[in-house]
Amino acid sequence: MQPPTRQTKSDLERVQRRAGYLFILPSFGLYAVFVLAPVILTFVLSFTYYDPMVGSRWVGLENFERFFTGDRSLQIFWNTLCFAIFAVAGNVIVGLLLALALNRAMPSFLLYLFRLAYFLPVIIAAAFVSIVWGYFYGDDLGVINYYLTRLGFAPVHWLTSSRTAMMSIIIMDVWKNAGFFMIIFIAALQGVPKSIMDAAIMDEPSYWRRFFRIILPWISPVVFFAIVYASIGALQVYESIVILTQGGPGDATRSMSIHIVEEAFGSFEIGYGASVSVIMTLIILIITSIQLLASRRWVRY
Amino acid sequence: MGPILIMKTKAAKRWIDRTIITFMAALGVVMLLPFAWLFSMSFRSPAEAYKMPPSFLPPSLDFKNYWAVLTSSIPFLQIYWNSVEVAVLVTLGQLVTCTLAAFAFARLTFPGRDSIFFVMLVGLMFPAQVTIIPIYLGFAQVGLLNRPIGLVLMYLTSSFGVFLVRQFMRSQPKALEEAALMDGAGYLKIFYRISLPQLRPALSALGIITFTQTWNYYFQARVLLEPQRAMTLPIAMDLLRGYLASGNLSVVMAAMSMAVLPVILIFLLAQKLVIEGVTMSGIKN
C-alpha cells in the first residue's frame, strides 16, 4: 500500500510545482525585465560616466559628489524636500479635517455628492488639472486674480514670482490629493469601536480635547501610513510643476524628477541622472522601512 | 431637568451637523469649479475665450471648438487612439498576468514561492524614475522607443495587481477548488472554471484602477514618446496648449474635455468601485 501512495503524492507535488512556475512566469518574467533589471542597471550606471559612443567608464562616487556639492542641484534637492514637507502636511491635515466633517449621519445621496466633489480631482490626471490651474493662476487673465481685484485686493504673482510659485503648486496639490486621504481617514474613523467613542464622550465633553486625547491616538497608525504614503508620492513630483512653471522662475520650483529627465535625456548625462534617481529611491526606501519598523512596534503595542 | 437637557444637546448637535454639512456642500462646489470652468470654456466662442468674468456654466451647446480640435494640425484622433490602446491593453494584460500569478501564490505550493512573492512586493517601493533610464536605453536599441506599444510592454504586469488579487483569493474558501482537484481536473481548468468567476470584485477593482492610472501616465510617456503621432493624451495636452493657447483657449479646453471624459464617466458610473480601488491601491502595505 505504502509505495503507490507516496508515488502519487510526489507526482502531485511535481505537477503542482510545474503549474506554479508556469502560472507566475508571465508576471515574474515581465517584472524581472521591466523592474528588477532596470533598477540594478540604474544603480550600476550611477557609478559611471556613460557615453553612448564609447561605452561607460567607472567614476566611483563622482556623480553623487556632484549632486551634493553643486549649488543648483542642492537647491533642487531642497525644493523637492520643501514641496514634500508642505504638500504632505497640507494633504494629511486637510484630509483629516474633511474626514472629521463628513464622518456623520447624512442621506446617502449627499454622501454620493460629497464623495464626487472631493474625490474627482484625485482620479483626473495631474497633467490635465494643472493646465486648468495654470489659467486660474494667470497674472493678468487669471480667474483668481480677476476675483481678487474685483474684491479690491492686489493681484498675486501666483506662478511668476519665485517667492510664491512653490506655494501655488502646493495649494493645487492639496486640492487634488486631499480627497484621497479623506477617504482613508473616514474608514479609520469608522473603525473606532463605539464603546471607546461613548466612553470618550463621557470623559471629555470638549470635542477637540476628545479628538487629540482619544481619537487621534486611536487612528495614529493610519495617520502615520498616510504621511509615509504621501511623502513617497510627493518626492516624485513632476508633471504639475512641469506644466505650471517648467521648474521656474529660475530654479525656484525645479524638482528632482525634472532634474533627472533634463540631465539624463536632455543633456544625455546618463550616469549623473541615474545617481539622482538612486538618491530619490534611497530616500523612499528609508521612509518605507521606518514605516515598516514603526508599524511592527504598533502591532505589538 | 434631565430629559430637557438631553433634548437641548440633541437639538444643538443637529444644528452643528446641519451647519457643517452646509459648509461642506459649499466647499464641494468650490472643489468642482475648475471642472465646471473647463467644460463651460470648451463651449465659449473663440472671441469670448478671455472675456471676464469667467463662466462656470456653458453659454451654449455649440461643438465648434471640438470640431476645431479634430481638424487642427495636431493628430488628435491618433493621439486619442494611442491613449485608448495603451490603457486597454495594459488593463487586459494586467488582469491576465496578475490573476495567473496570484493563483499560484495563493493556491499552489512550490519551492521558493514565498521568496519570489517577497521579491515582487519589493517592486512596490521603486519609483518610475529609477527604472526609466535603462528602459529608455534598451528601447532605443530594440526599436521600441517612440512607440506606444513600448509603454504597454512596461506595464503588462504589476506587483500591486498580483498582491491585490492574491489577498482577495486568500479570503475566499478553497473547498470547491480542492474538490475539483480530487476529481482530477488540471490546474488551468480549476483556475479558469472555478477561481476566476469568484474573483469578479477584485478584478473589476483592479481593472478600473489600472485603466485610470494608465490613462494618466505622464512621466514615462513624456520620456519614451516624443513624436506627436506617438503621444498619449496627457503629454499631448501640453503640446496643444503651446500650439493653440495664443489663438484660442476654448479649443484647448474642448480637447481637455474629451481627454478627461472616459475617467469621469467611469467615476460617475462606478463611484464606489473607483474609490475602493484607488484607496486599496494606497493601502497596499
CA distance B231 to chain A (A): 13
* Alpha carbon distance A99, B64 (integer Å): 42
The answer to whether residues B151 and A21 touch, using CB atoms and an 8 Å cutoff, is: no
CA distance B6 to chain A (A): 13
Residues of A in contact with B146 (CB under 8 A): none
Cβ contact A236–B128 (<8 Å): yes
Confidence of residue B55 (pLDDT cuts 50, 70, 90): confident
Per-residue pLDDT reduced to its tens digit, B69-101: 888 888 999 999 999 999 999 999 999 999 999
* Alpha carbon distance B181, B171 (integer Å): 19
On whether both B32 and B117 belong to a single domain, the answer is no
Given CATH 1.20.120.790, say whether it is the number of domain A71-300: no
DSSP bridge partners of A49: A57
On whether both B158 and B49 belong to a single domain, the answer is no
> Mutate which of A12, A13, A23, A108 to test chain B, going by most B C-beta atoms within 10 A?
A23
Per-residue pLDDT reduced to its tens digit, A76-93: 999 999 999 999 999 999
* Bond before B53 cis per omega within 30 degrees: yes
On whether both B6 and B125 belong to a single domain, the answer is no
Nearest CA in chain B to A265: B223
| Mean pLDDT across chain A | 88
Nearest CA in chain B to A20: B104
Per-residue pLDDT reduced to its tens digit, B163-219: 989 988 888 888 888 888 878 778 888 888 888 888 888 898 899 889 999 999 999
CA distance B108 to chain A (A): 6
Residues of A in contact with B128 (CB under 8 A): 236
Nearest CA in chain A to B276: A183
On whether both B129 and B44 belong to a single domain, the answer is no
Cβ contact A20–B159 (<8 Å): no
Angle formed by the axes of helices B249-269 and B233-244, nearest 10°: 160
State the total domains in chain B: 2
The answer to whether residues A252 and A160 touch, using CB atoms and an 8 Å cutoff, is: no
Domain end: B61, B85, B100, which one? B61
On whether both B82 and B142 belong to a single domain, the answer is yes
Query: Which cell goes with A133?
Result: 490651474
- Cell 504586469 -> residue: B157
Residues of B in contact with A127 (CB under 8 A): 216, 218, 234-235, 237-238
DSSP string, A53-97: TTEEEE-TTHHHHHHHH-HHHHHHHHHHHHHHHHHHHHHHHHHHH
Indicate the helix (H) or strand (E) that contains B122: helix B113-122
Q: Which domain covers residue B195, as residue numbers?
A: 68-282
- Reply yes or no on whether the pLDDT at B285 is more than 50: no
DSSP structural state of residue A33: I
Q: What angle do CA A169, A172, A177 make, to 5 degrees?
A: 120
CA distance A237 to chain B (A): 10
DSSP structural state of residue B126: -
On whether both B214 and B254 belong to a single domain, the answer is yes
DSSP structural state of residue B139: H
* Alpha carbon distance A77, A191 (integer Å): 38
Residue A141 φ/ψ, nearest 5 degrees? -100, 10
Domain end: B61, B84, B106, which one? B61
In sequence order, what are the residues at sequence separation of 6 or more whose Cβ sits closer than 8 angstroms to the Cβ of residue B2? none
Residue A48 φ/ψ, nearest 5 degrees? -125, 165
CATH of the domain at B241: 1.10.3720.10
* Alpha carbon distance B195, A63 (integer Å): 50
* Alpha carbon distance A183, A118 (integer Å): 9
The minimal CB distance from A183 to the residues B132, B157, B275 is found for B275
- Cell 560616466 -> residue: A49
**How far from B255 is each of A4, A33, B193, CA to CA, in Å?**
70, 36, 43
Residues of A in contact with B159 (CB under 8 A): 31, 35
Cβ contact A35–B126 (<8 Å): yes
- Residue A2: the pLDDT is 45
Residues of A in contact with B53 (CB under 8 A): 146, 150
On whether both B133 and B7 belong to a single domain, the answer is no
Residue B147 φ/ψ, nearest 5 degrees? -125, 125
In sequence order, what are the residues at sequence separation of 6 or more whose Cβ sits closer than 8 angstroms to the Cβ of residue B57? B36, B40
On whether both B29 and B44 belong to a single domain, the answer is yes
Cβ contact B256–A131 (<8 Å): yes
**Chain mean position to CA B172:** 26
Residues of A in contact with B212 (CB under 8 A): 123
In sequence order, what are the residues at sequence separation of 6 or more whose Cβ sits closer than 8 angstroms to the Cβ of residue A238? A255, A257, A258, A261, B218, B219
Domain borders along chain A are 2-45, 71-300
B282 vs B240, residue with greater confidence:
B240
